[in-house]
């Protein structure tokens, strides 16, 4: 079993690569962003509470996101988890370590996806996803083969995120550098950190992640 964290700023390609690992290795993607968006669209009390924070690009409280991850880890079995967008604070990293230890598991690798801020605006402003299966597309670099229809599930429900605008992205980046980037040092110290050039093509990034996972 391999448990891996994909760590990087908004638009680094965490979701894109998580889906590759699901397809290629049968691992389970745990994206706190997706879980929070699901809670919003279900209209739950928690979903309504986090909506404004998410749209502005701020971080939802540690208590809420740790609760979401705990629920998923306690309710299922997996060939390995891909933590996508979690942890994002030192408190979340500590909580994840404890949760895995309670399950008799450990973290195998933390992949830092390195990009330049300059490419992120372009990636984020062109992004759209399939509202049915979650496939990720881009207007210029990865459009659907048939306009308006998902390549994977045939759905015509293609959506753009409310926080994918320049103002929100700027704040998401500030939050990333202030609260999440200290995790790079944290996981360097534990010996789990692996660095990948996430400016390369999707296939090249996937190959680099595979190589990093084989490295153990």
Residues catalogued as catalytic: 14, 88, 127, 161, 172
Place of tokens 């704040």: 171
Measure the CA–CA gap between 216 and 210, rounded to whole angstroms. Answer: 10
- Of 128 and 213, nearer to ligand AP5 (C-beta) is 128
Cβ proximity to ligand AP5: between 34 and 192 the closer is 34
Q: What's the closest the beta carbon of residue 187 comes to ligand AP5, in angstroms? A: 15
Beta-carbon count within 10 A of 61 CB: 13
CA 142 from chain centre, in angstroms, equals: 18
In the complex with ligand AP5, the residue whose CB is nearer, 112 or 163, is 163
CB of residue 42 to ligand AP5, shortest distance in Å:
15
Q: For residues 12 and 82, which CB has a smaller minimum distance to ligand AP5 in the complex?
A: 12
By C-beta, is 104 or 116 nearer to ligand AP5? 116
Q: Which residue sits closest to ligand AP5, CB atoms considered?
A: 33
Cα R_g (the chain), whole angstroms:
17
Beta strands of the chain (E only): which ranges?
A: 4-7, 28-31, 81-84, 109-114, 127-130, 136-138, 158-159, 193-197
Q: Which residues have C-beta within 8 Å of that of residue 182, sequence separation ≥ 6?
A: 90
Residues in touch with ligand AP5 (CB under 6 A) = 8, 10-16, 32-33, 36, 53-54, 57-60, 65, 85-86, 88, 92, 123, 126-127, 136-138, 141-142, 163, 172, 201-202, 205
Burial class for 72, CB neighbours closer than 10 Å (0-12, 13-18, 19+): middle
What is the number of residues in the chain?
Answer: 216
Tokens representing residue 60 in the block: 């939802």
Nearest distance from C-beta of residue 1 to ligand AP5, angstroms: 22
Nearest distance, CB of residue 59 and ligand AP5, angstroms: 4
In the complex, what is the shortest distance from the CB of residue 12 to ligand AP5, in angstroms, rounded to a whole number? Answer: 4
The answer to whether 64 and 10 have CB atoms below 8 angstroms apart is no
CA 60 to CA 164: how far, in whole Å? 17
């Amino acid at each position: 079993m391999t448990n891996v964290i994909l760590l990087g700023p908004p638009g680094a390609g965490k979701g894109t690569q998580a889906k590759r690992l699901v397809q290629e290795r049968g691992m389970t993607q745990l994206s706190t962003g997706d879980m929070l968006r699901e809670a919003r669209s279900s209209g739950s009390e928690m979903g309504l509470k986090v909506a404004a924070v998410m749209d502005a690009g701020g971080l939802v409280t540690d208590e809420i996101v740790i609760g979401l991850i705990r629920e998923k880890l306690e309710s299922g079995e997996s060939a390995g988890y891909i933590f996508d967008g979690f942890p994002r604070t030192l408190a979340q990293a500590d909580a994840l370590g404890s949760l895995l230890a309670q399950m008799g598991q450990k973290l195998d690798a933390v992949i830092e996806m390195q990009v330049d801020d300059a490419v992120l605006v372009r990636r984020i402003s062109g992004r759209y996803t399939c509202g049915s299966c979650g496939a990720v597309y881009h207007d210029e670099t990865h459009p659907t083969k048939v306009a308006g229809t998902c390549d994977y599930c045939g759905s015509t429900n293609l959506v753009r995120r409310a926080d994918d605008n320049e103002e929100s992205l700027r704040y998401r980046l500030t939050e990333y550098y202030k609260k999440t980037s200290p995790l790079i040092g944290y996981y360097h110290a534990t010996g789990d950190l692996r660095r990948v050039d996430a400016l390369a093509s999707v296939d090249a990034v996937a190959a680099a992640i595979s190589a990093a996972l084989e490295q153990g």
